[in-house]
Amino acid sequence: MHDERLYDEKELEKSWLLSYSDLITLLFVIVIIIAATQTKSIQTQKDEVQKEKAGLEQVHESLDLLNLQKLELQREVYQLEARQKELKGEKVKEGSEGNVNVPKPPMSMSDSSERDMETVRNQLSSALAELNLDYEETEEGLRIRLPETILFTSGSADLQAQGKQVVGTVAGVLKRFEHKVRIEGYTDDVPISRSSYQSNWELSSARAISVMREMVDANALPASRFTVAGLGEYKPLVDNSNAENRAKNRRVEIVILGEKE
């Protein structure tokens, strides 16, 4: 005769499988809900980042436009002042061909390039002010003079830590634009005696290349944007009559050109 108690005990042993199966199903559903919620949250965050990015781009465009308008207003002021002097019978300061000496943008620059150059100027001014450095505006573009004391030790073309920091600051501004850059090395007129370089010309070239390599290798700027020149002692800022003047002549100059790559 079949024992019904034995049958009930076997069914009871299997009953836990049903509860386990329900638990696994419930956990699976919970995991799906959490994943769906997270996916939606991530997408929402991405949308917010895109909106913020678009807003920042609009702000930059507005600042660029304001900077261009500021430059144009400055020119108009210069022209009006010159005209006012003419009407009063005063002698107007003239250039080589008799034109009013009004600030001009670098040669061969379009309105877009001029606007970009104004933005470069503003950002460089802010960045260099923190390093107690300055720049000069020329017809070619913006010229930054970096003294030997913050870049190299005497007779060396290896950048010091402070020099790398300064070059990195300039490179940080250049990353946002596509302007070509020329790097020039200069020395004083004292012949080299204790160095691996045979002449000041070679030392100045090596220093210019060293600054360029720092921008390319350490700051990921494209090498195609750069040209380098070593001018040795042949284009001093001041005469080499004393130690102070010779120190001024030992420098590297970074010229940000109006021309783009």
DSSP string, 218-231: IT---GGGEEEEE-
Q: Where are the alpha helices (H) located in the chain, listed in sequence order?
A: 4-87, 111-129, 148-151, 161-174, 200-213, 243-249
- Summarize pLDDT for 82-129 with one digit per residue, the tens: 667 667 665 444 444 444 344 444 444 555 667 777 888 888 887 888
For the chain (261 residues), the mean pLDDT of every run of 10, in chain order, is: 53 61 80 78 75 66 58 61 65 44 46 71 81 84 92 92 92 89 94 85 93 94 93 93 94 90 71
DSSP string, 39-68: HHHHHHHHHHHHHHHHHHHHHHHHHHHHHH
- Summarize pLDDT for 219-234 with one digit per residue, the tens: 999 999 999 999 999 9
- Whether 220 contacts 146, CB under 8 Å: no
Domain spanning 133-257, CATH architecture: 2-Layer Sandwich (3.30)
pTM > 0.85: yes or no? no
Residues in a beta bridge with 183: 228, 254
Residues in the chain: 261
Find the angle CA(184)-CA(129)-CA(186) to the nearest 5 degrees: 15
